[in-house]
């Protein structure tokens, strides 16, 4: 059974733009569960997932301005050894939205100022704020997720975790006939210098 309070939370985070009072800031705060973040679900582990947010939202005619921050902790997998990486983001964000039909046509785009280029678009009559927050969290995740900068990863041949175990694969590679050729190659490089 889903928690009733979380369900209610999701409802509150889908807002028809027209329902927002004009030029009047509204504050939101709450927590998101991993089940509300389908794209994060593919990256993060379910246990001990925490994500809190708070932001203010203001409508200016058809434009929407959102400023806030999020804070969380959850576990990701190391890109090299697949071990656990504890991730504790704490970031502020600001999102500028305008309806997609108000966006200038490509021909006009060369005339856009830098500030105008920062606008994102929304193409539905309702904003899904949970999705927007999830997007910010995804952006914050580093491209390379490592348990440690010195992580040795998994052996590409036998798959053991080289941080905790060693294997003989590398030695076997040295014995391989091609290893000799590799040796000649490096001597040749030295010779050239």
83 binds Zn ion (CB under 5 A): yes
| Single residue of 80, 122, 127, 133 touching Zn ion by CB under 5 A | 80
Q: Which residues of 31-60 are buried (b: 16+ CB within 10 A; e: fewer)?
A: ebbbebbeebeebbeeeebebebebebbbe
CB atoms within 10 A of CB 64: 21
164-193: contacts with Zn ion (CB under 5 A): 167, 169
| Nearest residue (CB) to Zn ion, 62 versus 157 | 157
Report the SS3 class of residue 80: coil
Piece in contact with Zn ion (CB under 5 A), picked from 113-121, 125-133, 152-160, 174-182: 152-160
Report the SS3 class of residue 167: coil
| Single residue of 81, 97, 129, 130 touching Zn ion by CB under 5 A | 81
Q: Which residues bind Zn ion (CB under 5 A)?
A: 78, 80-81, 83, 147, 151, 155, 157-158, 167, 169
């Amino acid at each position: 059974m889903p928690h009733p309070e979380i369900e209610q939370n999701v409802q509150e985070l889908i807002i028809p733009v027209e329902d927002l009072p004009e030029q009047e800031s509204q504050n939101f705060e709450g927590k998101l569960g991993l089940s509300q973040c389908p794209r994060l679900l593919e990256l993060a582990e379910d246990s001990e997932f925490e994500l809190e947010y708070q932001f203010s939202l203001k409508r200016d005619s058809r434009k929407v301005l959102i400023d806030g921050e999020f804070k969380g902790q959850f576990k990701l997998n190391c890109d090299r050894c697949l071990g656990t990486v504890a991730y504790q983001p704490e970031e502020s964000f600001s999102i500028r939205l305008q309806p997609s039909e108000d966006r200038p046509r490509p021909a006009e785009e060369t005339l856009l100022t830098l500030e105008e280029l920062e606008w994102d678009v929304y193409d539905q009559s309702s904003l899904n704020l949970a999705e927007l927050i999830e997007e910010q969290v995804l952006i914050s995740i580093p491209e390379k997720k490592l348990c440690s900068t010195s992580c040795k990863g998994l052996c590409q041949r036998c798959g053991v975790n080289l941080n905790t175990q060693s294997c003989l694969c590398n030695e076997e590679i040295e014995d391989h006939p091609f290893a000799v050729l590799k040796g000649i190659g490096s001597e040749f490089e030295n010779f050239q210098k």
